[in-house]
Amino acid sequence: MRFDAVLFDWGDTLVWVPGLTTSPGPHLECVEGLHRALVGDAHGRCLARAGTDWPRFRAVYEDVCAEQLAYSRQTRREHRLEDRMTLALRGAGCECVLDEAEAAELARLFGRLLLERAHPVDGVHHVLRTLAARHRLGVVANCALAPLVHESLERFDLRRYFGTVVVSGALGWVKPDARPFRQALSDLGVDAGRAIVVGDDFTNDMQGGKAAGLTTAWLAPGRRRPEGDAIDHHLQALTELIEVVEGPVSPPA
């Protein structure tokens, strides 16, 4: 076999989840759900006194996200969703003191709202079931809220296929930094040269994976393949990964 291990990105590779940069409409619907949950409690009353309505809260939230994502791109360190909640409320005019436990609870609530809209990617069960029979599988996910990744894998009965799940929110480092890939490879006991990574993000998954020494498979149906050597395989569907990893199926004699 050419590969001993397959590393999977999480969001939009295994599980579709409303991401602000990939699916802003559904993501902001979750943010609106969070805003509705605040109405009537102390934070909601504080926002009302400040004259902050949903459009204003949304604008503040988007500004906070932009700053956090820029920080992660610059430093390759993961930001905290708890900080996003705190900064969004403060920026929207809430003067309440938000302690760590309250910030964590808001982050969990937001995670539940995202999970309600999440669903498995087409073909994922077939692909994982097929590849798990002969290969070690792992997940390398960029997500500030690590429990969201684990809960989604459990909910959709995907967790059982993976020998490791590395999440930036727990590790502290985000792809394209090499550390998440190296951690997963170490957990699986596989060298980078014997592993392939599949993901939908060109920078994080393809350039990051290639820099870490892995073969890469870009899951990007209908998208034009960028120039350069970061992409070894361009997949139009996740199911195409089986032939990439295991080779073409020989016709019966």
Nearest to 71 by CA among 216, 206, 172: 172
Residue 1 pLDDT greater than 60, yes or no: no
Q: What is the CATH number of domain 5-17+120-246?
A: 3.40.50.1000
Computed from CA positions of residues 21, 73, 164, 236, in that sequence, does the dihedral angle turn out positive or negative?
A: positive
Calpha distance 102→177 (Å, rounded): 31
* Burial class of residue 83 (count of CB atoms within 10 Å of its CB; 0-12, 13-18, 19+): middle
Question: Mind listing the pLDDT tens digit for each residue in 114-143?
Answer: 999 999 999 999 999 999 999 999 999 999
Residue 53 pLDDT greater than 70, yes or no: yes
**CB burial readout 217-245, b (16+ within 10 A) else e:** bbbbeeeeeeeeebbbbbbeebebbbebb
Question: Mind listing the pLDDT tens digit for each residue in 164-204?
Answer: 999 999 999 999 999 999 999 999 999 999 999 999 999 99
Nearest to 135 by CA among 53, 179, 195: 195
